[in-house]
Structure 1
Amino acid sequence: MDREERGALFERLLVEDIPLPHAPLVRVIGQLRFGTLSVLASGDEAPQAFIGKLSADYPFIEQGLEQTLLFAPGQPMQQTESGKVWRLRSSDQQSVVALSNGALTLETTAYPGRTDFCGELTRLAEAFHAVTHVPSYNRVAVRYTNRLTGPDTLERLPQLIQPEFLGLVGAPQGSGMRLAHMLSQALLSFGDTDRLLVQFGLLPESGTFEPTLPPVGEPSWVLDLDSYAEFPDPRRGLSADADVVSRTAIDCAERAHTLFRWAVKDAFLTHFGGQV
């Protein structure tokens, strides 16, 4: 698909969904952030009530402490513990719900599509509101991480990915030179609250760009789309109403999907099993 057929970036928000049976999507994360709540700081009663509401779908639990890394010029990195975190796992171990006093997160490696995923995030928000009466959220995000591996796939990147997202990948290389690492980042802004952080590039064997993303033992190309709505003023947070949360999450997912479809070629879709 050439530039004229694609149109300008975000000229259209909605593009046709094409299921990819072999999608290189390694994880999807949905997150609701909020200010520190007294009901969570005063004991475990509210978290336990929340856990009880989800026990049928997330029967396994792990409890730990959040770790915060502090960096200061000329000083060694310091690690501090900043509070409890509860992690609930689905019976198939493919989805995790994490709750801390500041964030409610849904992560899955078995993405069911944006309607079902955002629906589940909204259901978690409803259960959370029922036990905490959280008044608002200061950030809603949906994040997609795609990772392409395998020599055959990586050799075909110029045929699969649009040139704006390749950088030096695919450029002619002189004798004795090999492109080992290339990572680019861009932040797109939509009005006062909506953002899309895009990271893409080539990673070496065992390389990663994100501490929470396990590396793989071979070179890879990644496309990471972190789409979010942010409300830094606590007096003007996003309402915790389920319909508002649902619409905001879907908007985030749709922006990420629009960018994804602009970044890949039709050959990418067919390569991963799509019917174009």
Structure 2
Amino acid sequence: MTERTKNMPFTKGNVDSFQLNNEALALVLCQLRWPSLANLQNDSQLEALLPALNDKMVSDGYLVYSKTKNINYTVTPEGITPSEDGTIHQWSTADGKWHISLSIQFLSLFSTQYSNYQELDSRLRAVVGIIDEIMKVPVVNRVGVRYVNRLTLPQDIARLASMIKPEVLGYGALELPYLQSSMNQASYQIDTDVLQVRSGLLGPNQSPDPSIEPVAGESWVLDIDASRITSQIMNIDSIMNIVSNLSDIDYDFFKSISTEEFVNRFSDEEGGLEH
């Protein structure tokens, strides 16, 4: 089989690839969304499929189940108003490394202890196969792949200026005292794909995502999220090709803004983790 060509829009292949340990990688998440479907108009229709879904999830090692309400927030002149918008069904592995969230219009697979892309590919293929077989999802209209990197050790945060290019550091690059928090945001359009990037300093007990446990001290976060709006007919290989391309974009951006010192600090000599 011919090795596929990697998508490298930022480095154009001029920066060597590298493998990192998972010390700085706090979250990896893939999400598929689909339009409103005639057979999945409300939670009760999804609830009717739960026995079959649960059997498949358990057989794939997702033994822990829970459900929660999806909360939307609306900004009005009176303030922020929360409202319930359906149920999210959740499964996770017993060790808590992998999690699935499922509603009538989206599927998310994420890990807070990511090991390698091959495992992500294998697990996502299996879960997409389940929703194809049981939920009869015929088309996907959005695919997203997100990597959240987080530095929490004071000595690493103190070395940011030598590990990350200064343009990404925002106010942090000024090296002024008393900075409590700072968040920068950028958006890139790569053909049909969009890359959203957030980076900055978070104060104590703050987290960039509800899935990530906050830490007692300050942290620095690089949140890289590539997505594609599409009308992809349900085909597992085609969807995984989109996922792979979006992951390439995330990784290539990361390569373009990190320095050799970052690579040396977090390199995986055993070659275990690929972004």
TM-score (norm 2): 0.86
Separation in 2 of the partners of 1:103 and 1:141? 11
Q: What's the CA shift for 1:18?
A: 2.3
Aligned partner of 1:68 in structure 2 is 72
Corresponding position of 1:104: 107
For residue 166 of structure 1, give the secondary structure of its aligned residue in structure 2: helix
Deviations 1:75-94 (A, max 9, x none): 23222221121100102112
Residue equivalent to 1:128? 131
Contact between 1:119 and 1:246, CA under 8 Å: does it hold in 2? no
Aligned alpha-carbon RMSD (Å): 2.2
Asked if the contact 2:65/2:91 (under 8 Å) is kept, the reply is yes
Unaligned runs of 5+ in 1: 1-7, 232-236
Q: Which amino acid aligns with 2:218?
A: P
Cα gap change, 1:15 to 1:131, in 2 (>3 Å): farther
| Matched residue, 1:87 | 90
Using the alignment, how far apart are the partners of 2:133 and 2:175 within structure 1?
Answer: 58
**What letter matches 2:183 in structure 1?**
L
1:46-91 Cα deviation digits (max 9, x unpaired): 2332221121210110023212222212x23222221121100102
Instruction: Return 5+ residue gaps in structure 2 as ranges.
Output: 1-7
Q: CA deviation at 1:229?
A: 0.8
SS in 2 for 1:188: strand
User: 1:134-178 CA deviation, whole Å, 9 max, x = no partner?
Assistant: 1111110110101111221111111111122122324243xxx42
Match of 1:3 in 2: none
Q: Deviations over 1:98-130 (max 9, x none)?
A: 110111000101212223213321221111101
Instruction: Report what 1:52 is aligned to.
Output: 55
Q: How far has the Cα of 1:211 moved from its partner?
A: 5.1
Are 1:243 and 2:237 an aligned pair? yes
2:164 equivalent in structure 1: 161
Q: Distance in 2 between matches of 1:245 and 1:172?
A: 44
C-alpha distance in structure 1 between counterparts of 2:64 and 2:22, whole Å: 28
**In structure 1, what residue type is equivalent to 2:253?**
L
Q: Distance in 2 between matches of 1:14 and 1:39?
A: 48
The equivalent residue for 1:181 is 181
Could you tell me whether the CA contact under 8 Å between 1:22 and 1:273 is conserved in 2?
no
CA contact (8 A) 2:63 2:92 kept: yes
What is aligned with 1:4?
none
Contact 2:92–2:100 (Cα < 8 Å) also in 1:
yes
Asked whether 1:263 is paired with 2:266, we answer: no
Code of the residue aligned with 1:242 in structure 2: it is: I
Structure 1 pair 172–99 and aligned structure 2 pair: CA distance change class (3 A): closer
Task: Report the Cα distance in structure 2 between the residues aligned to 1:210 and 1:268, rounded to whole angstroms.
Answer: 23
Contact 2:15/2:256 (<8 A) preserved:
no
Q: CA contact under 8 A between 1:58 and 1:91: conserved in structure 2?
A: yes
In structure 1, give the amino acid aligned to 2:123.
Answer: E
What is aligned with 1:24? 24
Amino acid at match of 2:65: I
